[in-house]
A and B are shown apart, each in its own frame.
Chain A
Amino acid sequence: MEAPLLHLALVGTPNSGKTSLFNALTGSRQKVANYPGVTVERKEGFFVTPLGRQVSLVDLPGTYSLRGRSPDEEITRDFVLGKASGEIKPDLVLCVADSTNLRLTIRLLLELKRTGRPLVLVLNMFDIATRRGITVDVERLAQELGVPVVTSIAVRKGGTAALLKHTDEISAQVQPQPQENTWRALTVSELRTTQREADRIIAASVSLPSRPDTWTARIDAVVLHPVGGLLVLALILFVMFQAVFAWAKPLMELLSGGFDGLGQLVHATLPAGLLQSFLQNGVISGVGSVIVFLPQIIIIFLFILLLEDFGYMARAAFLMDRIMGGAGLHGRAFIPLLSSFACAIPGIMATRVIDDRRDRLTTILIAPLMTCSARIPVYTLIISAFIPDTEVWGFIHLQGLVMFGLYAAGIVSALCVSFVIKFFMLRDYAPAPFMLELPDYKMPRLKSIAIGIFTRAKMFLQRAGTTIFSMMVLIWFLASFPQPPAGSTEPAIDFSLAAMIGKALEPLLAPVGFNWQIAVALIPGMAAREVAVAALGTVYAIEGGKEAAEQIGQVLATKWSLATALSLLAWYIFAPQCASTLAVIKRETGSWAWMATTFVYMLTLAYLASLATYTIAVALGAG
């Protein structure tokens, strides 16, 4: 009979190297999901011990105590106590410590001991500690703590051998002896006593050279300098933006070319008809239009993971905290919002670095207001068709100025929305104070980063394969049925449900200056914003899609008034025109309600902005 799966859980303070240990033990055999009902990410991996025992390892959210002050920390507490719904009590808890910084982890371990779960203290990054002249009397430490202690170097091959050996020893016991749980939330004075006890144990078994990491001090002298630090941050952001737009471009063109080719192939091989249209326009171009963003997502996560591993993210949050704080945003919201300029999807996924739920929700809600790259084709089309190619005051390019204005409008409105949320909606949450460890800098490890990117890319593709795919099918269906009667010369879309919806929406959209053709284009534009450009082309019965953008522009210039064009621009700043973003919000918040909130507030803002723009433009004679 095969031995049952052994359940292990990783607990540790933030920055203890927990995730790199997790990656070292499980490699790419990881499953990422959410705990039921909460936004917290559940990471489980699998490995086999040298003696052949199958092990499941859960990487619990980092915490300094078991008090559970945030949903993440509650998960860690409940999981260890065996109270988390649908979870099995772990057979063994691995408490991971950064060997160079034992104080906080030893205190956490003393608290964990009270839960009665079998424990092991893993002294991770033992090589760095040795290099810094820190010596740990491992036996003495184990004796003082009454808990087995093993050392590990997660980032080195074979660095986890002692840990694996110990796991085998535990699993050899028929029944690891869990003690009775005597844990309860510590009072402040107990917390103090525990910290004193931890300090005593450390003094007895660890000798510190008391010289801080000189590299970290040297780098911080520049990176945390009030002025120099912001310049460094700006430089990093500049390189990141360049990378996202420039490096990703050839890959994106390759992907989109590939999908176009595939579509053409289907078009050529299959007889004209429903199946052909479904595969080419529904499946291939629909899913393809989302997968095209994969290179950007990989590059953004490459930067985020590199900076996080290096230890820079906490510094960026430090530099931006007060600057963002004015709008009620946490310092850590900075990078996710920045990523949203490429695409809100990786931006919203990156909000996981924010540990406070309220701050994270605020950031998720405003991330779609950042001008993502999918808006660029729409903006470019309308601006080049309607805004004269002239210069104002002799040196400012008017078209460029409008483009800049659209970006600025997105940023300003995001800050305003955050401000409103802070004061009206989430008042009952105590705002998280900014208290954050600034870890010593570490050389990022490529293997760990590769695993991180792989996991994110897989999640993105899975979503493209499921949620986004079903949205695409729905939109294709609306745009294709019912079929035009035989022999009709008008575009097929005129007879479809989409057109009926467009015409039904027309009275509603008339005050903002949209005709039914725009209303129809907005529907497939829900799949991805730039699809609206192609959809307008279809609706106005012009052959060719994005390639013929200039031609569409000329047609639009004759069919629309300037007021309508400006109104559509205003609409695009705010409108929730992206089903994938909404799907990601649903996934990341674990709630349909927050997805609906985002949709409704953005739609309202879009309508009001377009209404104002159109009314003012008409009043000024641009109707």
Chain B
Amino acid sequence: MTEDNDPRSQAPASLPLGLARRGFAGTIQHLSAGQAGSALSDIELESRLIELGFVEGAKVEILHEGIVGRDPIAVRVDNITVAVRRREAMAIIVA
């Protein structure tokens, strides 16, 4: 996982966006709502993520992190910026 956190390495190994650090850039592989400990149901969480543009193949980059526990994160998704908590970002599998 440590290598994945390095923004320069384009490691093929996938990881949840919720574990990535600031500067990480990658592509969404798939969504896996069951992996996130969100209060929302899996279907609801997945729908909301898609509605904000988190779909397979979208390019993501972590632009900013909050001060407490590096949470929430500001993510560039293609051409918009979205703020999410790391808990929900665990559902977004990126590489």
Contacts and interface: CB of A to CB of B under 8 A. Distances in A.
A212 B79 contact: yes
B88 to A, nearest CB: 5
A227 B80 contact: no
A224 B80 contact: no
Contact of B72 (A192, A208, A220, A322): A322
Interface string B22-57: 000000000000000011110111111111110110
23 contacts: A100-B79, A101-B79, A101-B80, A103-B78, A103-B80, A188-B50, A191-B50, A191-B51, A192-B56, A199-B55, A220-B63, A220-B74, A226-B66, A226-B67, A314-B83, A318-B83, A322-B68, A430-B39, A430-B44, A435-B52, A435-B84, A436-B82, A437-B83
- Residue from B40, B43, B51, B56 whose CB has the most chain A CB atoms within 10 Å: B51
A318 B66 contact: yes
Contact of A433 (B55, B68, B78, B84): B84
Interface of B: 38-41, 43-53, 55-56, 63-69, 71-72, 74, 76, 78-85, 87-88
Those 10 A-B pairs whose CB atoms lie nearest each other, nearest first: A322-B68, A64-B51, A226-B67, A224-B64, A438-B81, A318-B83, A436-B83, A191-B50, A430-B39, A433-B88
A319 B72 CA distance: 8
A85 interface: no
A438 B50 contact: no
A438 B83 contact: yes
Given A224-B64, A435-B52, 6 more contacts: A64-B51, A69-B44, A104-B52, A321-B83, A322-B67, A433-B39
B82 A210 contact: no
A186 B46 CA distance: 12
B52 A437 contact: yes
Given A188-B50, A430-B39, A434-B83, A226 B65 contact: yes
Interface in A177-222: 186, 188, 191-192, 195-196, 199, 208, 210, 212, 216-217, 220
Interface string A315-336: 0011101110000000000000
Contacts of A216: 81
A67 interface: yes
Contacts of B38: 433
A225 B81 CA distance: 15
A: interface residue count bin: 35 or more
Nearest to A433: B88
Given A224-B74, A321-B66, A210 B51 contact: no
Given A65-B51, A430-B39, A321 B74 contact: no
A428 to B, nearest CB: 12
Contacts of A212: 76, 79
Nearest to B64: A224
Contacts of A433: 38-40, 45, 48, 84-85, 87-88
A266 interface: no
Interface in A62-82: 64-65, 67, 69
Contacts of A322: 66-69, 71-72
A431 interface: yes
B47 A191 contact: yes
- Residue from A210, A229, A435 whose CB has the most chain B CB atoms within 10 Å: A435
A325 B79 CA distance: 28
A161 interface: no
B50 A195 contact: yes
A540 B56 CA distance: 74
Interface of A: 64-65, 67, 69, 100-101, 103-104, 107, 186, 188, 191-192, 195-196, 199, 208, 210, 212, 216-217, 220, 224-227, 229-230, 314, 317-319, 321-323, 430-431, 433-440
Given A224-B64, A318-B74, A188 B46 contact: yes
Contact of A319 (B43, B53, B67, B76): B67
Contact of B67 (A67, A103, A227): A227
A72 B6 CA distance: 41
A587 B90 CA distance: 39
Contacts of A191: 47, 50-51
A188 to B, nearest CB: 5
A314 B81 CA distance: 11
B59 to A, nearest CB: 10
Contacts of B81: 216, 220, 437-440
Contacts of B55: 192, 195-196, 199
A575 to B, nearest CB: 34
Contact of B79 (A103, A220, A323): A103
B49 to A, nearest CB: 8
B53 A103 contact: yes
A230 B74 CA distance: 15
A229 B67 CA distance: 9
Given A65-B47, A314-B83, A434 B72 contact: yes
A188 B43 contact: yes
Given A69-B44, A212-B79, A224-B74, A321 B39 contact: no
A101 B79 CA distance: 7
